[in-house]
Structure 1
Amino acid sequence: MRIALYEPEIAGNVGAVLRLGACLGVAVDLIEPLGFAWDDRRVRRTAMDYIDHVAVTRHADFAAFRATTGTARTILFTTKATQSAYDFAFAADDILLFGKESAGVPTDVAAVCDVALKLPIMAEVRSMNLATAAALALGEALRQTGSLPGQG
């Protein structure tokens, strides 16, 4: 399983997702352009020394990322989806894709994803923080596939 971030804009969110990947043993793909300098100290400050324990791959654009996905499903998490992540059967090799904080993913990217899922939230709010959404989605996917660290 992998997490992919499409054109992330906030260094702190990327750092938090890198730390999540390190803790749960999941690689992270960053689809450029990024909204910050990669050597930004805020990434390292948020990820701390965990950044040394996660496999990070940077891709020049979405096409370059897609060239690496093989037969794995690309699962888009979006507020525009109708199907809940909690009513979906994940596979161990799924790639969980999250869009940029300000705009999600463009329609052409959404169109090539295998599935679009949402994380249910209160109607009065727009969306969750990117790192929080990634944690909830990844936790559910790993739970379903029996891939959580420390599970029997």
Structure 2
Amino acid sequence: MSASESSGSGPANAPQHREPLLHVVLYQPDIPQNTGNIGRSCVAVGAKLWLVRPLGFQLDDRYLKRAGMDYWQHLEWEAVDSWSEIESRLAGRTFWLLTKFAERHVWDASFSPGDVLVFGSETRGLPESLRREHQSRCLKLPMHEAVRSLNLASTANTVVYEAVRQFGGLNT
């Protein structure tokens, strides 16, 4: 990785040709393989990946690289130090928070290009304070009560593609 990437940002510092289709935020992710897989999905749809520190891994982690394979170099991403930085940098956009504690399903949301999809860590989820603050924008995927949680990468992929489906797909 380059010096700019090890400091926490990737191609986001390079001139961009267009706005990201979506913004995918991982709030304090723990597992590099999930982050790598989510990064690959972001490349596939033209979304930007945001990582909120602290992270449960190093950004040069071999598992992160392996899961992202050769796509990581094409990913627009940034790592930031706080939730307040996300709110400031993405102000004016619609935030959707994914949590198993939500009342509404993702199918009940009306997604638009430029929306922000926020996912919690694999071990802790999203803090209650964030869920409370954005209660009307909390969503969940339906699952049988015997299932405690779904894999973060699987959940993010499902929600990203539902959003893209709703607003007409990719212009590729």
Asked whether the 8 Å contact 1:15–1:44 carries over to 2, the reply is yes
Amino acid at match of 1:101: E
3-state SS, counterpart of residue 28 of structure 1: strand
Structure 2 partner of 1:30: 51
Q: Distance in 2 between matches of 1:96 and 1:146?
A: 17
TM-score, length basis structure 2:
0.83
Structure 2 partner of 1:124: 146
Q: Which has the larger radius of gyration?
A: 2
TM-score, length basis structure 1:
0.94
> How much does 1:149 deviate?
4.9
Q: 1:52 to 1:149 in 2, by over 3 A?
A: farther
Which of 65, 68, 88 is the equivalent residue of 2:89?
68
Name stretches of at least 5 consecutive residues in structure 1 with no aligned partner. Answer: none
Q: Which 4+ runs in 1 deviate beyond 6 A?
A: none
Q: Distance in 1 between matches of 2:119 and 2:39?
A: 13
- Mapping of 1:3-152 within 5 angstroms? 3-113=24-134, 115-150=137-172
User: 1:33-77 CA deviation, whole Å, 9 max, x = no partner?
Assistant: 000111111111110110011100111111111111110011000
Q: Distance in 2 between matches of 1:147 and 1:92?
A: 10
Name stretches of at least 5 consecutive residues in structure 2 with no aligned partner. Answer: 1-21
Q: Distance in 1 between matches of 2:42 and 2:71?
A: 9
Amino acid at match of 2:27: Y
3-state SS, counterpart of residue 67 of structure 1: helix
3-state SS, counterpart of residue 55 of structure 2: coil
Q: Distance in 2 between matches of 1:111 and 1:147?
A: 31
Q: 1:149 to 1:122 in 2, by over 3 A?
A: farther
> How much does 1:112 deviate?
3.0
Percentage of pairs with the same residue = 33
Asked whether the 8 Å contact 1:92–1:147 carries over to 2, the reply is no
